[in-house]
Structure 1
Amino acid sequence: MARDRRHEEVARITTAAESPKADIDHREKRYIISMTIRTLCFIGAVFARHIPWLCGILIVASFLLPYVAVVMANRASPILPGDPFEGPDHKEIE
């Protein structure tokens, strides 16, 4: 079977996606930062118990941040336009 070299896609380094390990490391870092902010909100609510409106905001934030942290951590790196491995048109190597 002859190959038509004009239609072969070549992966370019500028369109290559982030490595899976780097992607996971980046997502873990975002999660840890979000959960640290949540912990600080909860501790701040304890110290701000004499200011009801501030205490309420900090408690609500401490309950909402875990959801936001999980959504942010589960969001993978986007596939860059022109990536030869994007979408359902990916062809296996013959």
Structure 2
Amino acid sequence: MARREPEAVRITTATRSHHADIAIRQRRYLISMGIRTLCFVLAIVSIGHWFMWIFIAGSFLLPYVAVVLANAGVSPDPGGPEYFDPDPERRALESGPDT
């Protein structure tokens, strides 16, 4: 019975490391929270104007959006290896002569 060797994996389709994934999610969260803080400050500065309500709504909705985006798997990462077979017609080497 012949043993089946594992197929070759293209390194270009390897998934992102856990550290890199967390770093991207943290960056996305911090950008969203920065925009939220800016909305809050602009709401205070624009007291009495009609667009103050837009800034207040943004400062209330952005935390939810930031958490959802940070926890969602929105990366375009393929998520798994792609197996590479350069020549599907190529046969495996036969075993050597029995001695």
Q: Same fold (TM over 0.5)?
A: yes
Q: In structure 2, what is the Cα distance between the partners aligned to 1:81 and 1:27?
A: 16
When Rg is computed on C-alpha atoms for both structures, the one with the higher figure is: 2
For residue 13 of structure 1, report the CA deviation from its aligned partner: 1.2
| Secondary structure of 1:10 counterpart | coil
Count, aligned residues? 81
Q: Relative to structure 1, is the Cα distance of residues 39 and 81 closer, same or farther in structure 2, using a 3 angstrom cutoff?
A: closer
For residue 83 of structure 1, report the CA deviation from its aligned partner: 2.4
Task: Map 1:14-53; keep pairs closer than 5 Å.
Answer: 14-52=12-50
For residue 39 of structure 1, report the CA deviation from its aligned partner: 0.5
- For structure 2, the residue ranges without an aligned partner over 5 or more in a row are 83-99
Q: In structure 1, what is the Cα distance between the partners aligned to 2:79 and 2:24?
A: 21
The two structures, once aligned, show a CA RMSD in angstroms of: 1.9
Q: Does 2:9 match 1:3? A: no
Which among 63, 68, 86 is matched to residue 66 of structure 1? 63
Structure that is richer in helix per residue: 1
Q: Stretches of 4+ moved more than 6 A in 1?
A: none
Q: What does residue 75 of structure 1 align with?
A: 72
Q: Relative to structure 1, is the Cα distance of residues 68 and 46 closer, same or farther in structure 2, using a 3 angstrom cutoff?
A: same
- For structure 1, the residue ranges without an aligned partner over 5 or more in a row are 85-94
| Larger RCO of the pair (alpha carbons < 8 Å, separation 6+) | 2
